[in-house]
């Protein structure tokens, strides 16, 4: 064998490394849900599940935007690699929701920030009462139904 040849690891070590590449951060379960406020879709609301009361997700960000029918699909972005994966890692989550009015040219040019229609009620992991558990293979999450009285008037 020459001094420049590459010595390959035994086959079982190579197989182990390939299997472990799918472990840990690579396990994502599909997750779809719905947000309704007073029975109506919360079109444009942003759903952000977090694992801990300090709002952290182990270097990832999970989010989904509510469509006009009230549905959302969650995806996970790894902050280090900037890769996005459909679904979320199984576990228990605190659900954060923010919902801003539709952006118009007038709102974009306004000096004040765009308000959250919930007045921040669901945007803090320490105070949000919303919880969801995600398990492997389960795609549909329970609908999040919020009362219309939770909306802050303009």
CATH number for the domain that contains residue 93: 2.60.40.10
Please tell me the pTM assigned to this model.
Answer: 0.75
Average pLDDT over residues 15-26: 40
Distance of CA 152 to CAs 4, 101, 122, 148, Å?
A: 70, 11, 12, 9
∠ CA(33), CA(67), CA(90), 5° rounding? 30
Expressed as residue numbers, the domain containing 57 is: 29-146
Residue 15 included in any domain: no
Work out how many domains the chain is built from and give that number: 1
∠ CA(53), CA(20), CA(76), 5° rounding? 35
Mean pLDDT, the chain, rounded, equals 80
pLDDT band for position 53 (cuts 50, 70, 90): confident
More confident residue, 91 or 4: 91
Q: Give me the pLDDT at residue 9, please.
A: 44
- pLDDT, one tens digit per residue, over 129-151 is 999 998 887 789 999 999 999 99
The set of residues, in sequence order, having a beta carbon less than 8 Å from that of 42 and lying 6+ positions away, is 35, 36, 66, 70, 97, 99, 146
Task: Name beta bridge partners: 92.
Answer: 133
Residue 80 included in any domain: yes
């Amino acid at each position: 064998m020459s001094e420049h040849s590459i010595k390959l690891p035994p086959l079982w070590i190579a197989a182990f490394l390939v299997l472990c590449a799918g472990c840990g951060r690579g396990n994502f379960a599909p997750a779809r849900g719905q947000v309704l406020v007073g029975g109506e879709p919360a079109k444009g609301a942003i759903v952000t599940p977090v694992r801990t009361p300090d709002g952290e997700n182990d270097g990832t960000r999970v989010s989904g935007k509510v469509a006009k029918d009230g549905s959302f699909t969650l995806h996970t972005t790894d902050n280090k690699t900037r890769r996005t994966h459909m679904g979320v890692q199984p576990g228990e989550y605190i659900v954060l929701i923010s919902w801003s009015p539709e952006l118009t040219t007038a709102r974009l040019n306004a000096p004040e920030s765009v308000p959250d229609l919930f007045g921040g009620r669901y945007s803090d992991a320490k105070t949000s009462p919303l919880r969801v558990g995600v398990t492997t293979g389960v795609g549909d999450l329970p609908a999040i139904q919020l009362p219309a009285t939770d909306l802050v008037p303009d």
